[in-house]
Amino acid sequence: MEKKRCIAMVPCPGQGHLIPFVEFGKTLVHHHNNLHLSFLIPTLGPPTPSIMAILNSLPPNIDFIILPHINIQDLPQNLHPGIHMKLTVTHSLPFLHHALTSLNTTTHLLALILDVFSADALPLAKQFNIPSYFFFTSGALTLSFCLSFPKLDDTVSSQFIDSTKIVNVPGSIIPFQVKDLVDLVLYERSSEIYKTYLGLCQQLYFVDGIIVNSFTDMEAEAIRVLQEKTTFLDGPSVYPVGPIIGTGSTSKEKQVECIEWLNKQPPKSVLYICFGSGGTITEDNLNEIAFGLELSGHKFVWVLRAPNNSASSSYLMGQMEDPLRYLPSGFLERTKEQGLVVPSWAPQIEILSHGSTGGFLSHCGWNSTLESVVHSVPMIAWPLFAEQRMNAIVLTDVLKVAVRAKVDDESSGIVKHEEIVRVIKIIMEGEEALQIRNRIKSLSDAALVALSEHGSSIRALHILAHKFQNI
Residue 158 pLDDT > 90, yes or no?
Answer: no
| Residue 279 amino acid letter | G
- pLDDT, position 47: 87
Q: Which of 109-123, 311-325, 408-422 has the lowest mean pLDDT?
A: 311-325
What is the H or E stretch that residue 279 is in? none
CA 174 from chain centre, in angstroms, equals: 22
At 251, is the pLDDT very low, low, confident or very high (cuts 50, 70, 90)?
Answer: low
> Mean pLDDT, to the nearest integer, of 362-383?
98
- pLDDT, position 155: 56
Of residues 161 and 203, more confidence is placed in 203
CA dist., res. 291 & res. 348, Å (int): 23
* Cβ partners under 8 Å of residue 74, min gap 6: 91
CA dist., res. 68 & res. 46, Å (int): 9
DSSP category for residue 395: I
Residues 177-202: pLDDT tens digits?
A: 999 999 998 888 888 899 999 999 99
* Cβ partners under 8 Å of residue 29, min gap 6: 35, 36, 37, 59, 61, 62
What is the H or E stretch that residue 141 is in? helix 140-156
DSSP category for residue 304: E
Residue 157 pLDDT > 70, yes or no?
Answer: no
CA dist., res. 3 & res. 36, Å (int): 10
**Statement: the pTM of the whole predicted model exceeds 0.75:** yes
Asked if residues 46 and 69 have their Cβ atoms less than 8 Å apart, the reply is yes
At 17, is the pLDDT very low, low, confident or very high (cuts 50, 70, 90)?
Answer: very high
CA dist., res. 230 & res. 378, Å (int): 35
108 has which bridge partners? 5
* Cβ partners under 8 Å of residue 140, min gap 6: 171, 212, 214, 219, 222, 223, 226, 238, 240
CATH fold of 4-150+190-242+452-469, please? Answer: Rossmann fold (3.40.50)
- pLDDT, position 314: 56
At 15, is the pLDDT very low, low, confident or very high (cuts 50, 70, 90)?
Answer: confident
DSSP category for residue 414: B
Asked if residues 147 and 141 have their Cβ atoms less than 8 Å apart, the reply is no
CA dist., res. 249 & res. 387, Å (int): 25
- pLDDT, position 153: 73
At 336, is the pLDDT very low, low, confident or very high (cuts 50, 70, 90)?
Answer: very high
CA dist., res. 65 & res. 39, Å (int): 6
CA dist., res. 25 & res. 14, Å (int): 17
Residue 13 pLDDT > 90, yes or no?
Answer: no
- pLDDT, position 377: 98
Asked if residues 455 and 31 have their Cβ atoms less than 8 Å apart, the reply is no
At 278, is the pLDDT very low, low, confident or very high (cuts 50, 70, 90)?
Answer: confident
* Cβ partners under 8 Å of residue 448, min gap 6: none
Supply the residues annotated as catalytic: 17, 115
Arch. (CATH architecture) of 252-448:
3-Layer(aba) Sandwich (3.40)
> Mean pLDDT, to the nearest integer, of 57-70?
95
Q: Does 252-448 match 4-150+190-242+452-469 at the fold level?
A: yes
CA 369 from chain centre, in angstroms, equals: 8
400: region left, alpha or beta (phi > 0 left; psi from -120 to 50 alpha): left
- pLDDT, position 449: 98
> Mean pLDDT, to the nearest integer, of 54-81?
89
- pLDDT, position 49: 85
Residue 360, classed as helix, strand or coil, is strand
CA dist., res. 150 & res. 398, Å (int): 26
Of residues 191 and 129, more confidence is placed in 129
Residues 349-368: pLDDT tens digits?
A: 999 999 999 999 999 999 99
CA dist., res. 48 & res. 51, Å (int): 5
Residue 106, classed as helix, strand or coil, is helix
CA 208 from chain centre, in angstroms, equals: 23
The residues spanned by each domain of the chain are 4-150+190-242+452-469, 252-448
Computed over every residue of the chain, the mean pLDDT equals: 93
Q: Phi/psi at 324 (nearest 5 deg)?
A: -65, -25
Residue 316 pLDDT > 60, yes or no?
Answer: no
Asked if residues 14 and 316 have their Cβ atoms less than 8 Å apart, the reply is yes
- pLDDT, position 283: 96
- pLDDT, position 250: 63
End-to-end Cα spacing for the chain? 19
| Residue 407 amino acid letter | V
Burial (CB count within 10 angstroms: exposed 0-12, middle 13-18, buried 19+), residue 255: middle
- pLDDT, position 77: 79
Of residues 450 and 247, more confidence is placed in 450
